[in-house]
Every structure is written in C-alpha cells, then in structure tokens.
Amino acid sequence: MSVIDLRSDTVTQPCAGMLDAMAKAATGDDVYGEDPTVNHLEAELAQRLGFAAALFVPTGTMSNLLGLMAHCERGDEYIVGQQAHTYKYEGGGAAVLGSIQPQPLEVQADGSLDLAHVAAAIKPDDFHFARTRLLALENTMQGKVLPLEYLARARSFTREHGLQQHLDGARLYNAAVKLGVDAREITRYFDSVSVCLSKGLGAPVGSVLCGSAELIGKARRLRKMVGGGMRQAGILAAAGLYALDNNVARLADDHANAQLLAEGLRGAGFEVEPVQTNMVYVQMGDQAEAIKAFAAERGIKLSAAARLRMVTHMDVSRAQIEQVVATFVDFSRK
C-alpha cells in the first residue's frame, strides 16, 4: 500500500529526473566559492527574484536566521507575526543566536500584519528601548497569499519609518502561482527574501536567501559562523535548479488538489477553512487523535491537531485525494 502523507509538503521524494541532475552536477568546494552548481543556483535565483546576490543554505530556518542577523545588530528588534515561522517555529534563534528582540503582533485573518499595529509597536529612538530595525512578513502565511496591494503599502510604510523588510518566502512560488504573476511581483517589495527549495518545489534539501551584495556578504560570514558552510554542495544545488525549472508551474496542481480535498470534506460535513494554495485546515476538535489513527490504518499520514492542517504536494495525486476524502466520509459515518 502506498502511503499518502499529508502532514507537510516537505515529505516529497526526489524524482528520477532530479536524481539524475544531482548525479551529473559539477561540484567544487563551496566554502572556497568554487562550486559551479551552487554559484549557478545563487546567480539564477538572484536574477529571477530581482536581487544582486543570493546565498544557498541547508534550511529555511538558517536562511531566515541569517537574514534577520544580517539586517539587525545585537539589541535591535524585528516586528513579526505571532504565528510566523520566523518567530514561533525557529527555536527562538534570532534571540538566542542573534541577540535580536522579536516584537510579535497578532496576524490578521488574511495573513498580513495590521500596519497601524506595526506603527504603534515601533519604538522611539530612546535608550530604554531596543532599536526597531525590520519588519518580517511571511508569504504564503498558513497557505494564505498576501495581497500585492498590501505588500506595496507595507513597502511604503517601512520606507517611511526607516525599517528594512524581510520576506519568509518559504512558499513564495505557491503565492506567485496562485496570483498568476512572476515571483518578482512579490519580491520587489522586500530587501531580502528567503525561499525554500525543499517544500512544494520538491528538492530534498536547501533554501536560498536573496538580497543586496552587502547583505549577502554579511550573511555569508554568518553562515560560516553557524556551521552552514557546505563543501561539494552542488549535488544539492542541482536539485534546486531542477526544481526551479520543472516544479514551479505544477504547484497549480497541488492547489487544485487542495480545493478538491476541501470541497470533499465540506460535502462530508466537516468544517473547512477557505483554501487558497496547498493547505487545507479542518476543525477536528476532540477527534484529532481518532482521525489520525483511523487514517493511519488506511495508509494516510496525518498530524494530530484540533485545527488539522493537511498539505498537498507533488507526491499526492488527485486519485489519492479522492481516497482521503472517502476515508473522512467513512470516519464521519463510523
């Protein structure tokens, strides 16, 4: 029985074409700057997203950390969503390793931060306070796409207040595909962007931080410091290049599958939040453990949560989504 894993879009296996590209990758020592495939990936993504430079790193957590630390000095502050990855899901790295104070704010229903609340959180220049340096946004945010009009407003706002603006774009391409725009239409509003290759794009490892040459120069030093300098990393960068060339447009299939799943579950009487990209949130209440166990017996891997997140990706087919819906229907009749 083939397993259907809906816990995350990080669970994909590299396909034959990707493995072939990895096997054929030209490599060198990237700490010496001599891995041609890493250099190619960095130049390619910087160019595609409209930045002067980029840096390949093992994880999105490291990419965000280096971005925050390159923007902020010890005793500086970044404003960030209470539910954002860069605040809640990175082990407190910015504070622990960067001595950067987070100022979390509640995220609005559409995934954005209310700019009036951000304005109120900016600290005056006074020695009592940390220095507010940066606004960090996330797109997609729990599967929600930030409106371009909001990004434009946030950009003017941060310019006006002398703040830098960082995007945790782990799923930047899901947002771009959903909006039907070039990813640059999103990244043009930011001073730095972190993109994951290991989520919906299907690479086994890797994220890229994009920014100015100066920012990426700082980030490169910091990467070495936190132990992220890799050697013949071209094998991994080749997977990223393959993903960028082959797996972007197909994210639309994951979005369609997420819609299909949401509609099926609604039809079975479940309470499902509106779906925009590849994430489906269902209210399971006290049935979280029960549905997880019920699904596991039928070859479906779910997380256990009262607000259950299911994520579609390239290793889940439309037919398998129908199977998942049928399983929920059986569960509801049990």
Residue ranges binding ligand PLP (CB under 6 A): 59-61, 64, 85, 138, 168, 170, 196, 198-199, 207
Amino acid at 273: E
Comparing CA positions, the residue from 251, 249, 244, 273 lying closest to residue 261 is 273
In the complex, minimum distance from the CB of residue 134 to ligand PLP, in angstroms, rounded to a whole number: 16
Cβ proximity to ligand PLP: between 59 and 103 the closer is: 59
Q: Which is nearer to ligand PLP, 199 or 223 (CB)?
A: 199
Taking the complex as a whole, how short is the minimal distance between the CB of residue 89 and ligand PLP, in angstroms? Answer: 7
Cα–Cα distance for residue pair 112/98, rounded to 1 Å: 25
For the bound state, the minimum distance from the C-beta of residue 64 to ligand PLP, rounded and expressed in Å, comes to 6
Indicate the residue among 76 and 168 with the shorter CB distance to ligand PLP.
Answer: 168
Beta carbon of residue 57, minimum distance to ligand PLP (angstroms, whole number): 9
CB of 195 to ligand PLP, least distance (A): 10
Q: Is 227 left (phi over 0), alpha (psi -120 to 50) or beta?
A: left
CB closer to ligand PLP out of 261 and 279? 279
Q: Are strands 307-311 and 271-272 parallel, antiparallel or unpaired?
A: unpaired
Is 55 in a helix, a strand, or coil? strand
- Of residues 93 and 264, the one with the C-beta less far from ligand PLP: 93
Query: Measured from the CB atom, is 59 or 246 closer to ligand PLP?
Result: 59
Q: Which residue is nearest to ligand PLP (CB)?
A: 60
Q: How far apart are CA 15 and CA 4, in angstroms?
A: 16
Q: Are strands 4-5 and 300-301 parallel, antiparallel or unpaired?
A: parallel
Nearest to 195 by CA among 148, 240, 257, 235: 240
d(CA 211, CA 166): 9
**Residue 77 or residue 138: which is nearer to ligand PLP going by CB?**
138
Helix axes 251-267, 172-179, angle to 10 degrees: 80
3-state secondary structure of 146: coil
- Determine the Cα–Cα distance for residues 268 and 270; give it in Å rounded to an integer: 6
Q: How far is the CB of 47 from ligand PLP (least distance, A)?
A: 23
**Dihedral over Cα of 17, 61, 144, 173: its sign:** negative
Closest distance of CB 315 from ligand PLP, Å: 17
Alpha helices per DSSP H over 226-313: 234-246, 251-267, 288-296
Q: Which is nearer to ligand PLP, 228 or 264 (CB)?
A: 228
| Helix/strand/coil for 77 | strand
Give the distance between the most distant pair of CA atoms in the chain. Answer: 63
Residue 13 vs 332, nearer CB to ligand PLP: 13
Cβ-based burial of 96 (10 A; exposed 0-12, middle 13-18, buried ≥19)? exposed
CA distances, 122 to each of 26, 30, 172, 212 (Å): 47, 39, 27, 24
- Least distance (Å) from ligand PLP to the CB of residue 199? 6
Nearest distance in Å: CB 198, ligand PLP: 6
